[in-house]
Amino acid sequence: MSVFHSRECAAPDLAGRFPPEFYARPTLTVCRSVIGSYLVHASEKGTTAGRIVEAEAYLGPHDKGAHSFGGRPTERTRAMFGDKGHAYVFLIYGAYWCFNIVCGPAGKPQAVLIRALEPALGLDLMRARIGKPDAPAESLCRGPGKLCLTMGITKELYGEDLRGDRLFLVPGRPRRGETIARSVRLNIDYAEEYIHKPWRFFIQGNRSVSGPRRMG
Partner DNA sequence: TGTCCGATTGGT
Partner DNA sequence: CCAATCGGACAG
Q: How far is the CB of 76 from DNA (least distance, A)?
A: 2
Q: How far is the CB of 109 from DNA (least distance, A)?
A: 9
Q: Which of 9, 27, 52, 56 binds DNA (CB under 7 A)?
A: 56
Q: Which of 18, 23, 58, 199 binds DNA (CB under 7 A)?
A: 58
Q: Which residue's CB is nearer to DNA, number 9 or number 201?
A: 201
Residue 143 found at the interface with DNA (CB under 7 A): yes
DSSP 185: P
23, 169, 181 from 161: Cα distances, Å: 12, 10, 29
Q: Position 77: which residue type? A: T
- Across the chain, the runs of DSSP E, i.e. the strands, are 38-43, 46-58, 87-92, 96-103, 110-121, 167-170, 180-183, 200-203
Q: Which of 34, 66, 153, 169 binds DNA (CB under 7 A)?
A: 66
Q: Position 202: which residue type? A: F
Candidate ranges 1-9, 34-42, 141-149, 169-177; the one touching DNA (CB under 7 A): 141-149
Q: How far is the CB of 176 from DNA (least distance, A)?
A: 29
Q: Which of 13, 174, 186, 207 binds DNA (CB under 7 A)?
A: 186
CB atoms within 10 A of CB 161: 13
**Site mask, DNA, residues 67-106, x = CB under 7 A?**
xx-x-x-xxxx--x-------x--xxxxxx-x-x------
Distance CA 162, CA 206 (A): 25
Q: Which residue's CB is nearer to DNA, number 3 or number 126?
A: 126
Provide CB contacts within 8 A for 8, sequence distance 6+: 2
Site for DNA in 111-140 (CB under 7 A): 111, 113, 130
Nearest C-alpha neighbor of 57 from the set 200, 210, 206, 208: 200
Question: With contacts defined by CB under 7 A, how many residues of the chain interact with DNA?
Answer: 37
Provide CB contacts within 8 A for 181, sequence distance 6+: 201, 202, 203, 204, 214, 215
Q: Given the rule CB under 7 A, which residues bind DNA? A: 56, 58, 60, 65-68, 70, 72, 74-77, 80, 88, 91-96, 98, 100, 111, 113, 130, 143-147, 185-188, 190, 210
